[in-house]
Amino acid sequence: MDMKLEVVVVPVSDVDRAKDFYTALGWRLDADVATDGEFRVVQVTPPGSPASVIFGESVTEQAPGSARGLHLIVDDIDTAHDELARHGAHPSEVFHDAGGVFHHADG
Q: How many CB atoms lie within 10 A of CB 22?
A: 23
pLDDT band at 13, cuts 50/70/90? very high
Question: 24 pLDDT exceeds 80?
Answer: yes
What pLDDT, on the 0 to 100 scale, is given for residue 107?
47
* Reported pTM: 0.82
β-strand pairing of 28-36 with 7-9 = unpaired
Question: 60 pLDDT exceeds 90?
Answer: yes
What pLDDT, on the 0 to 100 scale, is given for residue 45?
97
What pLDDT, on the 0 to 100 scale, is given for residue 97?
67
Query: In angstroms, rounded to a whole number, what is the distance separating the alpha carbons of residues 28 and 26?
Result: 6
Asked if 85 and 26 touch (Cβ cutoff 8 Å), the reply is no
Q: Which domains does the chain have, with CATH numbers?
A: 7-86 (3.10.180.10)
User: Cα 19–10–23 angle (5° rounding)?
Assistant: 20
**Average pLDDT for residues 35-49, to the nearest whole number?**
93
The whole-angstrom distance between residue 104's C-alpha and the CA centroid of its chain comes to 23
pLDDT band at 66, cuts 50/70/90? very high
